[in-house]
Amino acid sequence: MRFIKSIISASLLVSLVLGFSACDKRENFVTYPPGITDNVVQSAEKEGLNVFAAAFKRAGMEEAFRYLGNYTIFAPTDAAFAAAGITAANVNTIAPETLRNVLRNHILPGRTTKLSFLPGPNATYNNINRDFIYTSFYENGAFAGTYFNGAKVIKTDITSLNGVIHTVDAVLAPPMGNLTQTLAANPNLTFFEAAINRAGLAATLNGSTSSLTVLAPTNAAFQAAGFADIAAINAATPATLAAIVRMHVIPATSTTTTGGRLFSPDFRTGSYATQNTAVNVTAAPGNITITSAGTATPARVTMANMLFRTNISTGAPSVLHVIDRVLLP
């Protein structure tokens, strides 16, 4: 349920504006393409996307998307929703506005089929949440496939009456705010938030005008590194903590092909410059590890691809990954 609580704590929900001036105005039950009669929810149910369909209904979006419009929808599998804390058993207990905010993040205006996906890396699409999702395509290697916000596309071009559906293996969560707001919303990341504040880096990182990739150690990781509690963090010198925090920030200058925004499939085995010194990455699907000069045991990415805003006024997005070790200089 951590995901659900984080979404509930997100900043103002964006209202859906069904301004169909750029969409077709078909009458009810007129099929398009020829021979297709199922709307988005019906198509999802036939594909076994039961939690997605239930969430759509619970959010009150079924009627609006029944006939009108052309949309591209990235539908998480039931397993993907379960990993985010949303299941068939609890979906009808979640606030409709919360589900609407999540679902809108998965919907693009217009039909975008597999053949017209932008290659990336990190090619930008605008969803109906007036936010961003990013696509990357890799033809060869361990990460071969198409990804949106780091979620892999499992099945493409499921045609419905008013849109095309692609299934993905993770929920595309909308940004929850700036970096420290995102960390504060996760009870396992509050030590890192405290370290950023003590180091005097909150304004710098929250206000960055370029995108970042942040590796956020868990509270347990800080404890293993010798910081027993937040009081111990606040007792450390700001300079010491600044050096540690900067080890966990990969700036745009070191990842020029992705604009500083590294989703999990964008990592490759090799060296990455942080705001302090370089770290070494070993990348394989589901097993990304990171080492630094001062850390004997590699840090493992345990939760990936959380979006946050580095400049709340412009909405410049960045990505955060949770790791299980503190990287030391």
CB contact set of 200 (below 8 Å; sequence gap of 6+): 238, 242
The three-class DSSP label of residue 191 is helix
Q: Which two tokens stand for residue 253?
A: 């200058």
In 3D space, the residue among 105, 99, 98, 154 whose CA is nearest the CA of residue 125 turns out to be 105
Q: How far is CA 159 from the centre of its chain?
A: 25
Mean pLDDT of the chain: 87
What pLDDT score does 312 carry? 67
pTM score: 0.86
Say how far apart CA 105 and CA 132 lie, in whole Å.
Answer: 8
The three-class DSSP label of residue 3 is helix
Instruction: State mean pLDDT over 151-167.
Output: 93
Percent of the chain exceeding pLDDT 70 equals 85
Say how far apart CA 38 and CA 168 lie, in whole Å.
Answer: 20
Query: Phi and psi for 99 in degrees, rounded to 5?
Result: -65, -40
- Of the pLDDT bands very low, low, confident and very high (cuts 50, 70, 90), residue 253 is low
Instruction: State mean pLDDT over 146-153.
Output: 97
Residue 197 has pLDDT above 80, yes or no: yes
- Of the pLDDT bands very low, low, confident and very high (cuts 50, 70, 90), residue 196 is very high
- Position 91, amino acid: V
Say how far apart CA 137 and CA 145 lie, in whole Å.
Answer: 6
pLDDT in tens, 270-286: 999 999 999 999 999 99
Q: Which two tokens stand for residue 316?
A: 């410049």
Q: Which two tokens stand for residue 164?
A: 């095309």
- Going along the chain from its start, the domains and CATH numbers come out as 2-168 (2.30.180.10), 179-323 (2.30.180.10)
Asked whether 130 and 109 are in contact (CB, 8 A), the reply is no
